[in-house]
Structure 1
Amino acid sequence: MKRYSNSHRFKGQSLVEFVLCAPLLIVMLFALLDGSAYYRSAMCVRTAATEAATFYTKRPDASDADVKAHVLACVKGTEGIEFSFSTEDAGTAESNYTMRVKQSSGWKTADVKTVTKSKAFTCKKTIKTFLPSLFGEGNTATATATVVGSSSEEGVLR
């Protein structure tokens, strides 16, 4: 009969491996969660800015409060988004541009000679992290969509 076996050498090895690897795996898990939360929030912010510009293009007479209410009603995940609206004059000689319009008969090119104003919709959201000591207090996702109006269009931007 054998008095000593070799199996006693491996007792506790899995516990030591777990203690060494678990913190690394937990940090990787939280990094993945923080990254996906930031990506989702960034996409919500981008969608909110785009939706604000689209709504304003369809209804140039809408007030800033109407645009904000429309975005909050239509876009999911907009809790905590800060909205800012700015109107700027853009009527310089360098601001001429060419616009291509698709019609049923094919592509047509229209030169827009005078750009009078542009309205920018900026959306910003701060995302809090799960582990502030490792990843910082929070990251900010910002998106801006700009609507450019010209004197040749029917509605002039305010």
Structure 2
Amino acid sequence: MARRIVVLNGPNLNLLGTREPHIYGTATLADVEELCAGRAAAHGLEVSCRQSNHEGELVDALQEAGADPECVGAVLNAGAYTHTSIALHDAVKATGLRLVEVHLSNPHAREPFRHTSFLSPVAEMVVAGAGIDGYGYAVEHLATTPGPRAESSADPRG
């Protein structure tokens, strides 16, 4: 079984290319997946891509990736869940999965509610404002930067 990077996309990212192109650009989710696959392949890795509009499915995907010994790490663009989901934060923390948080736009240059990320504290890197190239940077980081999985939470209270 080949080592892999999981690329996860949250709500509304299935609409890339048509959704607010002045903010998110005209590249599609298929373009993102192709870019990630190419970057990973250059390092002998595979990618597994998944998009969901449902928070629980993203939690499941993070837990699956965290339990997979062949998974090098995850690239996550959680969309709006970035600013609301303690569940995604907890899934990363509980599994010790290496995570790179990605945003197509720069959330700090947008509405104030987008300035807070529940993922950044458990991400080893954040890429924002680079368009789909940010996914490539994230894959390159995971592929070329050795690192143990993040420490799992030892707090039994959760």
TM-score category (smaller protein) = under 0.3
Is the radius of gyration larger for structure 1 or structure 2? 1
TM-score when scaled to structure 2? 0.25
TM-score when scaled to structure 1? 0.25
